[in-house]
Amino acid sequence: MKALFPSLLLSCLLLCGCTDSGTFSFEAQDCDVEVTFLSSDIVRVAKFPSGLRSERFSPSVVMEPERVNVRKSVKDGVTVLETDALKVFVDGSRVCFEDCSGNQLLSERKQEYSPVDQTFVLQDDEALYGLGQHQQGVMNWRGKQVHLCQVNMEIAMPLVHSSKGYALFWNNSSITDFNDSEEGMTFASESGEYSDYYFVYGGNADGVISGLRRLTGQAPMFPLWSYGFIQSRERYATQDEVVDVVRRYRDLGVPLDCIVQDWRYWGDDHHWWNAVEFLSSGFPDPAGMMEQLRDLNANAMISIWPSFGPETNIYKDLDAQGLLMPHETFPQDHGVRNYDPWNPKAREIYWNYIRKNMADIGIAGWWLDATEPEHNPIKPEDYDYVTAEGTFRDVRNSFPIVSTGGVYDSQRRDVPDRRVMILTRSAYPGQQRYGTHVWSGDVHATWEVLEDQIPAALNFSLCGMPYWNSDIGGFWTWQQYPDGVDDPEYHKLYVRWMQFATFTGMMRSHGSNTPREIFRFGERGTCAFDAQEKFINLRYRLLPYIYANAWQVTSEDATLMRHLIMDWPEDVNVPDIDDEYMFGKSFLVAPVVTPEDVREVYLPEGQWFDFWNGVALEGGRKVMRNTPVDEIPLYVRAGSVIPVGPTVQYAAEKDWSDIQLRIYPGADGEFTLYEDAGDGYGYEKGERSEIRMTWDDAAKVLTIHPREGKWAGMPVERTFRVVMVRPEAGTGLDNGSSDVIAVYNGAKTEISL
């Protein structure tokens, strides 16, 4: 590919300077340009009004600059800054990027200096992903416009991930417009004293994600139970109802790990809105409720908003210190106001109510709703409010990261033996470091909306955010299915949504207008019940695989829901595919998103196995797959080693001392089984174990390598039931068949198949 500045090729070889300082400053005609190398492949570009350098609040970036060897040269007034990974060209106020081989990556379009906008020149064959999570059904943002403002169902992230192997994070948390046109790709923000962005080069998609995590923070582990099935609805009216739902799941033998209590446990008077206290007569003994749930081996999550009614104690405590924002919020006309999460005093008051009324009785997860925050009606003067970190106008889109971050940091300090588990409706770059699962908001129950969830999830993941989920069945049913669970047509949509949710970060049933518990859809033996039970059980069978992938997210910057471009970047068929994805690096998931019981699937190059019947297929082509209501197209990559766990009623019911190992032949492969205590942060101190397994396809030998690490309660001896997948063995929910039964005590073991 042609270099940006061909005349500079010689000067790049004849270096005129070398420095270990990572920051270079330039005086342009209309601004001062500062280029900072945080590493050899991560660069910050900031442009200040001439002579007026300043720094504003930036909640995303946590990376400390590394010591970087940067070679500097100058030719015809253009400066070249070169590392082992990048070349950065500075021509006046214009900055451009190439890789170390001279291939063009990104170039600013020359323009008059502006502190709030910048246009970039892209390549014709370049695909753009990211921008957060949106409901337009778009995968590739080339030629599109997006208004980046946090609202319900729209997560605003001024960050793009390019198919050319880089990401650009426009570091401005005010409301911003993205526009890609013939003029170029433009970020234009509503406010800002200077322009500021980060260029992250990874070479490939995984490298970009790794760079983004280095820049904005690593994702911690969630508790094991959070990867199981979670039941919710809007809403349970009494504590007896909460306990009864869990008890019915246990009586039916359908796995469940968590139940969620939605709003109004504080009562129905909106003046007492979100008291963060159990005030409703339906919850006379919340501590007793929690004891009953513990006896049933279930966890609880509870809805908590960032807004409070004027009669609540928390409102009065915040108001006394001037820590409430002035704008109207839901529910309107009752004096409800949001707190100022940018203020550390407000965050501390917020957490103290959560701790004393919720954490102290054993509630394990926080559903931090409406972290956009809710803001309606909007008045222009609302944005003039001065938060602890600038005007609301300046920091608008960063509300979710500072609000969830306050809860995360406080729980780590005060309840260090329990992993933080936050479910929230909005996000901002860097929020992954605060133990947050993000869901897609109050979406409607339609086939079209279900289909749109897939590109929404994948673009969110390509922003470096590893955990996403959606309300199984859609939140609102009144529009398309007014009879809700009594409508057989809704049953089918709900089942298909659940099948998709099986292969997301969290498998969670929730919504309004109609109940969603499995027993509402009929009895065992009916189609909708059996299909749900099958996929809930499948989720639990795959927990060893999912948990190991979660550890890869934490330890290796991995991505759970992977757009196909991450694994097949050279495949010209892949960039715009928006209805299938990889779950980890082994499973190709193709959710059924229409009422039809058949769908087309693109299988990338390689050999694939149908998960349900063990039939091998060659990739590099499209295939048609019949999809009875209890199946979706699900394929496993040749060379995969997949652990299949035991039959359980909750995630921690049985350890993984006796599991099936499925070998999918046709290529070499490997897998690392990961385990820890399932909760707490001992894993950060080395209290964990890893068992690496490698498959030699030519020799048909599985090598189980020596176990590394240990933790309290770790199974010392294990039974691995090893099976070579074929049509008659190792398919579907089978977790018992085997060709070889191997006893493993931590030493190297070789198994010939």
**517-546 pLDDT, tens digit each:** 999 999 999 999 999 999 999 999 999 999
Q: Average pLDDT of 253-281? A: 98
Backbone φ, ψ for residue 160 (5° rounding): -115, 145
Query: Given this model, what pLDDT does residue 151 score?
Result: 98
Query: Given this model, what pLDDT does residue 187 score?
Result: 98
Average model confidence (pLDDT) for the chain? 96
Q: Average pLDDT of 633-661? A: 98
Calculate what percentage of the chain has a pLDDT beyond 70: 97
Q: Which CATH class is domain 6-216?
A: mainly beta
148 within 8 A of 132, measured Cβ to Cβ: yes
pLDDT greater than 80 at residue 191:
yes
pLDDT tens-digit profile of 390-426?
999 999 999 999 999 999 999 999 999 999 999 999 9
pLDDT greater than 80 at residue 2:
no
Q: What is the pTM of this model?
A: 0.96
Catalytic residue among 82, 277, 328, 369: 369
The verdict on whether 442 is a catalytic residue reads yes
pLDDT greater than 90 at residue 293:
yes
Catalytic residue among 372, 471, 517, 676: 372
pLDDT greater than 60 at residue 13:
no
Query: Given this model, what pLDDT does residue 504 score?
Result: 98
Q: Which of 730, 692, 722, 517 is nearest to 609 (CA)?
A: 730
pLDDT greater than 90 at residue 19:
no
pLDDT greater than 50 at residue 506:
yes
Catalytic residue among 442, 630, 653, 655: 442
pLDDT greater than 70 at residue 282:
yes
514 within 8 A of 484, measured Cβ to Cβ: yes
Calculate what percentage of the chain has a pLDDT beyond 90: 97
94 within 8 A of 19, measured Cβ to Cβ: no
* pLDDT band (50, 70, 90) for residue 18: very low
The domain 224-441+491-545 is classified under which CATH number: 3.20.20.70, 3.20.20.80, 3.40.50.150, 3.40.50.11140? 3.20.20.80
Q: Average pLDDT of 253-271? A: 98
Q: Average pLDDT of 13-22? A: 45
Q: Which of 646, 647, 649, 676 is nearest to 658 (CA)?
A: 646
Q: Average pLDDT of 675-679? A: 98
CA-atom Rg of the chain in angstroms = 26
DSSP category for residue 679: S
Alpha helices in 415-566 (DSSP H): 447-461, 488-501, 527-541, 543-556
Q: Which of 511, 647, 672 is nearest to 586 (CA)?
A: 672
C-alpha–C-alpha distance, residues 724 and 737, integer Å = 10
pLDDT greater than 80 at residue 599:
yes
pLDDT tens-digit profile of 99-110?
999 999 999 999
Q: Is 732 left (phi over 0), alpha (psi -120 to 50) or beta?
A: left
The verdict on whether 372 is a catalytic residue reads yes
C-alpha–C-alpha distance, residues 403 and 481, integer Å = 35
Reduced to 3 states, what is the DSSP secondary structure of residue 331?
Answer: coil
Residue ranges, comma separated, of all CATH 2.60.40.1760 domains in the chain are: 6-216
Query: Given this model, what pLDDT does residue 21 score?
Result: 59
- Cα dist from 637 to 253, 550, 582, 736, whole Å: 32, 19, 10, 21
Residue ranges, comma separated, of all CATH 3.20.20.80 domains in the chain are: 224-441+491-545
- Strand partners for 100: none
pLDDT greater than 50 at residue 5:
no
